[in-house]
Amino acid sequence: MLTAETSLAMRDFISVVGESNVNTNAADLRAAERGTFPTGHRIPAIVRPANRDEVQECLRTANRHRCSVYPISSGRNWGYGSRVPAADGCVLLDLGRMNRIVDFNEELGYVTVEPGVTQAQLQAFLAEHKSRLWMDSTGASPDCSVIGNTVERGFGHTPYGDHFAHSCAYEVVLPSGDILDTGFGRFAAASAAPLYRWGVGPVLDGLFSQSNFGIVTRMTIWLMPAPEYFQAYYFQCPEPDQLPAIIDALRPLRMNGTIRSSSHIGNDYKVLSALEQYPWKATGGRTPLEGDLLLNMRRELRIGAWNGSGALYGTRAQVKEARRLITQALKGKAARLQFLDDKRLEMAERFAGIYQMLTGWNLKRTLAVLRPVYGLMKGIPTDRPLASTYWRKRMPPPESMDPDRDGCGLLWCSPVAPNDGRHAKLITTIASEIILRHGFEPMISLTVLTDRTLSCIVSLGYDRDVAGEDDRAMACYRELLDRLALQGYYSYRLSVGAMKSMGEPGTYHKLLEALKRTLDPNDVLAPGRYVAPTAPARR
């Protein structure tokens, strides 16, 4: 399976990182080639550099042998391709060993990390230093790389939810092996380097986000000071058509700074998949889940057609005023608006049993879902949402979850829409119709990531071990991307299988290609990842 060139390259990779850090074990390679949807790209080896110098040498080796490499940080790009390269035959450059936290400043609120630093590690680091700073976490997993998620422009749930917008001072190894520092980082001892994004002259950070122009080996991440007081809010819409009014009611509060973090609104399927697995028994094995059965489950589990959450950060008086404004805005538009703080959450957990006796409602189960979401709004990573990737599996989520290994089918489609009720309705209606028609459940969330936009995440969950399911899911996914694009909704991020959705050939692609030729003339770094060497064909 190794080409002659790759075999020669392997010898050099070994001399760079040592024999124990070049893995050609067939089982390990097959595992790395397996994501949560079908991909055909093979990986001839996994190389694990220990530091920046080794990354530089690896890229020089790759150029010498015209051997492509594909960097991963933690490789948990689930739903978008996991560890699987965007092209066939790439050596996986696993940056997991580079996991140092190299700088930390409590007063100015930042850390500087390497690509192997995970959300859990950063969380533990902050706890260990008794820091009053909060990180922002994605819901994906505690083991996700902080840098990996940031360069992919992933997001979380605190006021620092837009990760890319809260990072700076990238140290980048270019395909040539040269080191580039973005922002003021190129100047010796520039005191504002970790603090000011733009530097002087052209701003280059964006070139290294969603691209294959360089490997980010270090990055500064800003952290928010813990607020004096924190309060989460939750609400529901019993009816699907209440969504537009909710979006329009919350927009002014987001735009005027009353709501500083990303409100998150999930549909019934989304919440259901967090609480339960597919009701195989009740449906008699039929899919998709629909109609009365869905309604009954919604009622039983007290789930709305739409379910919102968000949080308030500030002094007690600031939170109180925000709460008043939210209550006023949602009046008559949402049901079950509730505010929760640490004290109330603790109370609820303590008295859940009694509550169930009195009301019959299994509050414990709700709290089990609610607690991690509550934590995410404080930036605490959780692996709870990962369980929902087992939605369609016939086995329960195992202790140690691994959707790639366990054949969990997962495809994420992530179109961005204006923060406007009309668009919220249209985008979710289109997505739901397509997914149900293909026999799956549309799990949809809308995150008010920025003042003006909704990040819509449509997740397509299925069981890869069911024959034919991979194909059906891919057909559904492609229709989703195409139909949404036709309506003007484009994804903020693409899976390794959907890089053709970068658009029609044009000046943008010509420019990217020219940049790629300039920076990586041998096309050795992550070929096909967002930037293809030739203009993509019409989909």
Within 105-164, the residues that bind a second copy by CB under 8 A are 107-110, 153, 159, 164
Compare residues 13 and 313 and give the one whose CB is closer to a second copy: 313
Q: Which helix (H) or strand (E) holds 47?
A: strand 46-47
Compare residues 285 and 506 and give the one whose CB is closer to a second copy: 506
Compare residues 257 and 398 and give the one whose CB is closer to a second copy: 257
One-letter amino acid identity for 387?
A
Is 384 an interacting residue with respect to a second copy (CB under 8 A)? no
Contact (Cβ atoms closer than 8 angstroms) between residue 435 and residue 476: yes
* Letter string b/e over residues 97-114, b meaning 16 or more CB atoms within 10 A of that residue's CB: bbbebeebeeeebbbbbb
Compare residues 443 and 484 and give the one whose CB is closer to a second copy: 484
- Report in angstroms how near the CB of residue 142 gets to a second copy at its nearest: 25
Contact (Cβ atoms closer than 8 angstroms) between residue 149 and residue 167: no
Nearest-angstrom CA–CA distance, 333 and 339: 16
Q: Is 231 helix (H, G, I), strand (E, B) or coil?
A: strand
Which of 286, 296, 518, 539 is close enough to bind a second copy by CB under 8 A? 518
The 462-501 contact track toward a second copy, x by CB under 8 A, reads -----------------------x-xxxxxxxx------x
User: Contacts with a second copy in 34-63 (CB under 8 A)?
Assistant: none
What residues have CB less than 8 Å from 521, skipping those under 6 apart? Answer: none
What the block records as the tokens of 466 is 């069911």
What the block records as the tokens of 297 is 């489950």
Compare residues 14 and 165 and give the one whose CB is closer to a second copy: 165
Compare residues 370 and 444 and give the one whose CB is closer to a second copy: 444
What's the Cα-to-Cα distance from 243 to each of 225, 247, 304, 344, 420, rounded to whole Å? 33, 6, 11, 28, 10
* Letter string b/e over residues 147-173, b meaning 16 or more CB atoms within 10 A of that residue's CB: bbbbbbbbbbbbbbbbbbebbbbbbbb
Q: Which residue has the tokens 């990072």?
A: 167
- Report in angstroms how near the CB of residue 444 gets to a second copy at its nearest: 17
* Letter string b/e over residues 118-130, b meaning 16 or more CB atoms within 10 A of that residue's CB: bbbbbbebbeeee
The 305-334 contact track toward a second copy, x by CB under 8 A, reads --------xxx-xx--x--xx---------
Total residues contacting a second copy by CB under 8 A comes to 91
- Report in angstroms how near the CB of residue 334 gets to a second copy at its nearest: 20
Compare residues 95 and 498 and give the one whose CB is closer to a second copy: 498
Stretch that binds a second copy, among 76-84, 123-131, 370-378, 504-512 (CB under 8 A): 504-512
Compare residues 191 and 359 and give the one whose CB is closer to a second copy: 191
- Report in angstroms how near the CB of residue 184 gets to a second copy at its nearest: 5
DSSP 226: P
Nearest-angstrom CA–CA distance, 198 and 400: 42
- Report in angstroms how near the CB of residue 174 gets to a second copy at its nearest: 7
Which of 272, 434, 448, 512 is close enough to bind a second copy by CB under 8 A? 512
User: Contacts with a second copy in 411-440 (CB under 8 A)?
Assistant: 416-420, 423
- Report in angstroms how near the CB of residue 519 gets to a second copy at its nearest: 7
Compare residues 170 and 391 and give the one whose CB is closer to a second copy: 170
The 254-293 contact track toward a second copy, x by CB under 8 A, reads -xxxx-x---------------------------------
Stretch that binds a second copy, among 142-150, 199-207, 291-299, 470-478 (CB under 8 A): 199-207
- Report in angstroms how near the CB of residue 211 gets to a second copy at its nearest: 4
What the block records as the tokens of 32 is 């790395």
- Report in angstroms how near the CB of residue 446 gets to a second copy at its nearest: 13
Stretch that binds a second copy, among 122-130, 139-147, 434-442, 444-452 (CB under 8 A): 444-452
Which of 519, 524, 525, 526 is close enough to bind a second copy by CB under 8 A? 519
- Report in angstroms how near the CB of residue 253 gets to a second copy at its nearest: 10
Q: Which of 131, 93, 83, 98 is nearest to 218 (CA)?
A: 98
Is 23 an interacting residue with respect to a second copy (CB under 8 A)? no
Helices (H), ranges, 260-386: 268-275, 280-283, 291-300, 316-330, 342-350, 352-359, 363-376
Count of Cβ atoms closer than 10 Å to residue 472 Cβ = 16
CA R_g for the chain:
23
- Report in angstroms how near the CB of residue 396 gets to a second copy at its nearest: 36
Is 510 an interacting residue with respect to a second copy (CB under 8 A)? yes
Stretch that binds a second copy, among 5-13, 70-78, 375-383, 410-418 (CB under 8 A): 410-418
DSSP 179: E
Q: Which helix (H) or strand (E) holds 344?
A: helix 342-350
Compare residues 28 and 106 and give the one whose CB is closer to a second copy: 106
DSSP 169: E
What the block records as the tokens of 84 is 């699987």
What the block records as the tokens of 347 is 């109370």
264 strand-pairing partners: 309, 447
User: Contacts with a second copy in 205-244 (CB under 8 A)?
Assistant: 205-211, 213, 222, 224-225, 227
Nearest-angstrom CA–CA distance, 384 and 405: 18
Count of Cβ atoms closer than 10 Å to residue 441 Cβ = 26
User: Contacts with a second copy in 179-198 (CB under 8 A)?
Assistant: 179-181, 184, 186-192, 195-196, 198
Compare residues 57 and 383 and give the one whose CB is closer to a second copy: 57
